[in-house]
């Protein structure tokens, strides 16, 4: 059985990183109703209108609404007619993440390097321009039908990308403190995790920083295995899960069944004040997994002293975990579309760079209670 490994953080050597990535650029979801989806992210999750492309900008095929909050940009795209690739994707998977765009200094170099190292092409380097400058984009496939698009935008001053115009609405959401994408987790098929670990190592120059096996991540019913991949400068973290044998169907199996394949399971967004952020999300109707109050009886015993009062954490259902470097607070939403597939995590890091291993049992038991209600356990 594989042992858990927490590798010592290596000093980032920019010169030896063959795939420099500056950060997450945007995440694009293919959804059945982009206009309404965008409004949910505004009214419920504190995002604001940023950009639009569709009939009014000369796009007859699809319509996209872009919302942003601090560094996070989400794009919601729907087809405008039948028989499109986007429509086929939605028919198969339901609403879900299609693109994780990575902000790079050179999208042509990134593409050529990735292809040379074995990536499958999604989009050859393409220069797009308007009166605000030019952008170069290219893309490769990762697990399932998810793609990484490389975005080079150092010569662009427009609101989002060429082809989009500013989207202004009279409704302005009060931001709720979401700052950036902390990590994005993929679920892959049984036996496929190591293949994708290798893909991120070889094609994108990532390193494995953590691994969990079914001794860490198991309850009476659920088991899964996970490896966390990080790029050189640590700004991009992609944990990859695969199901493991359990007594009943695991949450990863449920995802794979309903998504009909591998895909993005959750996106973790960082805040500097999780109590304020989660209070605001709950007030706007966002639903979170319920954690039994007994979790909090032994909290301080388990994680030691923390800055926060336990009562508001208990009231909101926020989880706490500690590692060698500090602690973290985290909470998970229920799934956010018709199919029980994707959900969000809200995370506040106070030194800890890990992913809340100490919370897996409480968390998975909470997920199993939801599965039970769906009849999918």
Q: Which residues bind Fe ion (CB under 5 A)?
A: 268, 345
The answer to whether the beta carbons of residues 210 and 228 sit under 8 Å apart is: yes
The torsion angles phi and psi of 355, rounded to 5 degrees, stand at: -130, 15
Residue 104 or 256: which CB sits closer to Fe ion?
256
Burial class (CB in 10 A: 0-12, 13-18, 19+), 373: exposed
Minimum gap (Å) between residue 268 Cβ and Fe ion? 4
Pairing assessment for the beta strands 147-152 and 165-166 based on DSSP bridges: unpaired
Residue 161 or 268: which CB sits closer to Fe ion?
268
Minimum gap (Å) between residue 17 Cβ and Fe ion? 24
Residue 54 or 186: which CB sits closer to Fe ion?
186
Minimum gap (Å) between residue 345 Cβ and Fe ion? 4
Residue 78 or 333: which CB sits closer to Fe ion?
333
Q: How many helices (H) and strands (E) does the chain have?
A: 9, 18
Minimum gap (Å) between residue 35 Cβ and Fe ion? 29
262 three-state secondary structure: coil
Residue 51 or 269: which CB sits closer to Fe ion?
269
Residue 63 or 345: which CB sits closer to Fe ion?
345
User: What is the arrangement of strands in the sheet containing 96-103, beginning at the earlier edge strand?
Assistant: 121-130, 133-141, 147-152, 96-103, 23-30, 72-79, 62-69, 48-53, 165-166
What one-character DSSP code corresponds to residue 163? T
Pairing assessment for the beta strands 147-152 and 96-103 based on DSSP bridges: parallel
The answer to whether the beta carbons of residues 107 and 136 sit under 8 Å apart is: yes
Residue 186 or 205: which CB sits closer to Fe ion?
186
Minimum gap (Å) between residue 350 Cβ and Fe ion? 16
Residue 240 or 316: which CB sits closer to Fe ion?
240
Other CB atoms within 10 Å distance of the CB of residue 219: 18
Minimum gap (Å) between residue 87 Cβ and Fe ion? 30
Minimum gap (Å) between residue 330 Cβ and Fe ion? 7
DSSP H/E element including 38: helix 34-43
| CA dist 4 → 187, 213, 228, 344 (Å) | 19, 7, 11, 25
Minimum gap (Å) between residue 185 Cβ and Fe ion? 5
């Amino acid at each position: 059985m594989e042992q858990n490994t927490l590798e010592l953080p290596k000093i980032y050597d920019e010169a030896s990183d063959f795939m420099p990535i500056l950060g997450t650029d945007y995440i694009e979801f293919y959804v059945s109703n982009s206009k309404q989806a965008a409004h949910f992210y505004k009214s419920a999750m504190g995002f604001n209108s940023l950009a639009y492309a569709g009939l009014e900008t000369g796009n007859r095929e699809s319509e996209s609404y872009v919302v942003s909050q601090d560094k996070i940009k989400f794009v919601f795209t729907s087809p405008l007619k039948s028989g499109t690739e986007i429509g086929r994707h939605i028919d198969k998977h339901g609403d879900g993440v299609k693109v994780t765009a990575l902000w790079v200094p050179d999208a042509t170099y990134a593409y050529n390097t990735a292809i040379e190292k074995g990536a499958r092409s999604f989009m050859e380097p393409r220069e797009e321009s308007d009166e605000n400058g030019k952008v170069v984009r290219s893309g490769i496939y990762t697990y399932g039908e998810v793609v990484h698009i490389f975005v080079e935008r150092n010569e662009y001053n427009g609101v989002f990308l060429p082809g989009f115009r500013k989207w202004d609405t009279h409704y302005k959401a009060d931001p709720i403190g979401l700052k950036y994408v902390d990590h994005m987790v993929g679920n892959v098929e049984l036996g496929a995790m190591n293949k994708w670990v290798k893909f991120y190592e070889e094609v994108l120059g990532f390193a494995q920083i953590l691994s969990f096996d079914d001794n860490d991540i198991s309850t009476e019913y659920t088991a899964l295995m996970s490896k966390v991949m990080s790029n050189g400068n640590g700004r991009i973290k992609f944990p990859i899960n695969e199901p493991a044998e359990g007594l009943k169907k695991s949450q990863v199996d449920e995802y794979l069944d309903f998504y009909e394949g591998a895909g993005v399971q959750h996106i973790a967004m960082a805040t500097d004040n999780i109590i304020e952020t989660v209070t605001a999300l709950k007030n706007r109707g966002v639903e979170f997994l319920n954690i039994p109050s007994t979790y909090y009886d032994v909290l301080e015993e388990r994680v030691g002293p923390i800055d926060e009062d336990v009562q508001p954490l208990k009231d909101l259902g926020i989880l706490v975990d500690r590692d060698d470097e500090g602690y973290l607070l985290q909470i998970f939403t229920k799934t956010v579309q018709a199919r029980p597939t994707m959900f969000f995590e809200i995370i506040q890091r106070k030194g800890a760079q890990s992913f809340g291993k100490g919370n897996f049992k409480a968390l998975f038991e909470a997920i199993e209670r939801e599965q039970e209600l769906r009849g999918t356990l």
